[in-house]
Chain A
Amino acid sequence: NAGVTQTPKFRVLKTGQSMTLLCAQDMNHEYMYWYRQDPGMGLRLIHYSVGEGTTAKGEVPDGYNVSRLKKQNFLLGLESAAPSQTSVYFCASNRGGQSGELFFGEGSRLTVL
């Protein structure tokens, strides 16, 4: 039981390049989330999903797209990376319902030059 796994863990991009971060969970959770964390800051919610085939915007969705084609996977895409998207990205999952806790991955560190 691996929990929440994020790939890749590190990536360096040039401005304008595209990439996809993959989040996989093996707990059969309904809800999945993508957060970003900038140095010295708290986590900010980018997008989230309440079930397979659904997505919704969080606090800072601009510049990102997501897809949840399979229940266990939540993909975060950057179509045209910008230096402002340099951050650590965390994925999380939750079984759903009123009081479930979030399980987080270990983070993906992205640098955009």
Chain B
Amino acid sequence: DAKTTQPPSMDCAEGRAANLPCNHSTISGNEYVYWYRQIHSQGPQYIIHGLKNNETNEMASLIITEDRKSSTLILPHATLRDTAVYYCIVRIYNQGGKLIFGQGTELSVKP
């Protein structure tokens, strides 16, 4: 199983871009990178996913390095409501699509 490594915590100023890194050096060629976030003790919320190309949606952008060993989630204009724990996950394709969560990064957006 590909494992992910994230910093335990980060701070970001409100209105600035938040760049959350993730290392997944053992990722396989057919494994996707997923990002979720969890606000307080709510159920995790899907943000974005990608295979090899950079992806963007209304919430965030995902930048995956060419060797796919790391990725960065970008929240372009962080708000106080983006304060949450962010999880970077590699999806195991051939095992029922289960997602294994790591410890995540606790992002604090400050005024």
Q: A residues engaging B (CB < 8 A)?
A: 4, 31, 33, 35, 37, 41-45, 48, 50, 56, 58-59, 88, 90, 92, 94, 96-107
Contact = CB atoms under 8 A, between A and B. Distances in A.
**Interface majority SS (helix, strand, loop, mixed), chain B:** loop
Contacts of B99: 33, 45, 102
A104 B85 CA distance: 15
Interface centre among B46, B87, B98, B100 (most CB of A within 10 A): B98
B42 A41 contact: no
A31 B100 contact: no
Contacts, number: 64
Interface of B: 30, 32, 34, 36, 41-46, 49, 51, 85, 87, 91, 93, 96-104
In this complex, which of B34, B45, B87, B97 has the most chain A Cβ atoms within 10 angstroms of its Cβ?
A: B97
8 contacts: A31-B97, A35-B101, A42-B101, A43-B87, A48-B96, A98-B32, A102-B99, A105-B43
A90 B38 CA distance: 12
A107 B100 CA distance: 17
Nearest to A30: B97
A102 B100 contact: no
A99 B100 contact: no
Contacts of A56: 96, 98
